[in-house]
Amino acid sequence: MPLFSMTGFARAGGSLGETDFVFEIKAVNGRGLEVRFRLPNGLERLERPLREAIAKLVKRGNLQVQLNVAAGADGALPRLDRQVLDHLVAVAREAAAAHGLDAPRIEGLMALPGVFQRGEGSAPALDEAAEDKILLGAFDQALGQLNAMRAAEGGHIAAALAAHLDEIERLTAAAETQAATQPAAIKARLEAQLADLLQDKAGVVSPERLAQEVAMLAVKADVREEIDRLRAHVAEARKLLKAGEGVGRRLDFLAQEFNREANTLCSKSTDVDLTRLGLDLKTAVDRLREQVQNIE
């Protein structure tokens, strides 16, 4: 199944008699699914079927759905209802005076529903069922466009994630190789330190005692478990990428686990080169997580 991005934009429209309309859908990242609607007065009834249509295709993200309507070029000019406007002006002025606010602006009042009426010669309005069928059909087109854009972007993100996982796997293998040299390096450093401490003294450390100290330090510096877990996380992340749809949260959790193992590897390291590899791992994990934030 394809991987979906949470971001996208689409628009589709049509006409209801002499009235043109356009749906616009904007989608951005979100922790869950949140949808906000901006619908013209009188079309609030569409919110439920629109929400149901979205839920069938979108599982996660913040969406804003806006429906814009305007008289068509061939439609009759709307008629200003002065009685309604005068009433709104009077009410707005009274409210402004009561609360010590500035006088209302006329353009804001003229944008309110009911101020303009259908002009003479306008085509008769469609019934609700006919309107809804046309409007919902256009919305389905916009939603299909949005999903296609999300899938295309998801494909690009999937390729980037695969590359980041390859890099994490490469660095993990390099860290394993470098970590194998730690016991010998620890022994050499400990011998050098003891030689400095015992210089000009008669004390001698037995080979058995030295071996015990080296073994204790080597256990503390052992990163094999971290290496194994990093490899397991890479394998699981690849399975999720192959599964596709709806894996964003699980990939985000894995990214956190990657980061935890890289931090532990760095803290256990007694070798400059291994520490450098651990820091490179953290950088690769950060890049992975940045991309994961965009996945549904």
Q: How far apart are CA 80 and CA 85, in angstroms?
A: 8
pLDDT surpassing 90 at residue 261: yes
b (16+ CB within 10 A) / e for 151-169: bebbeebbeebeebbebbb
Q: What is the pLDDT, as a whole number, of residue 123?
A: 46
Closest C-alpha to 269, from 205, 181, 203: 181
Residue 32 phi, psi dihedral angles, 5° rounding: -130, -155
> pLDDT tens digits, residue range 49-76?
999 999 999 999 999 999 998 865 544 5
- What SS3 class is residue 43? coil
Dig out the tokens for 116 from the structure: 């303009």
**Segment 32-42 mean pLDDT:** 92
Q: What average pLDDT is seen over the chain?
A: 84
Q: Where are the chain's structural domains?
A: 79-117, 155-292
> pLDDT tens digits, residue range 119-146?
554 444 567 888 999 999 999 999 999 9
Closest C-alpha to 179, from 40, 81, 277: 277
> pLDDT tens digits, residue range 81-98?
888 888 888 888 888 888
> pLDDT tens digits, residue range 186-200?
666 655 665 555 554
Q: Dihedral sign for Cα 130, 45, 19, 128, please.
A: positive
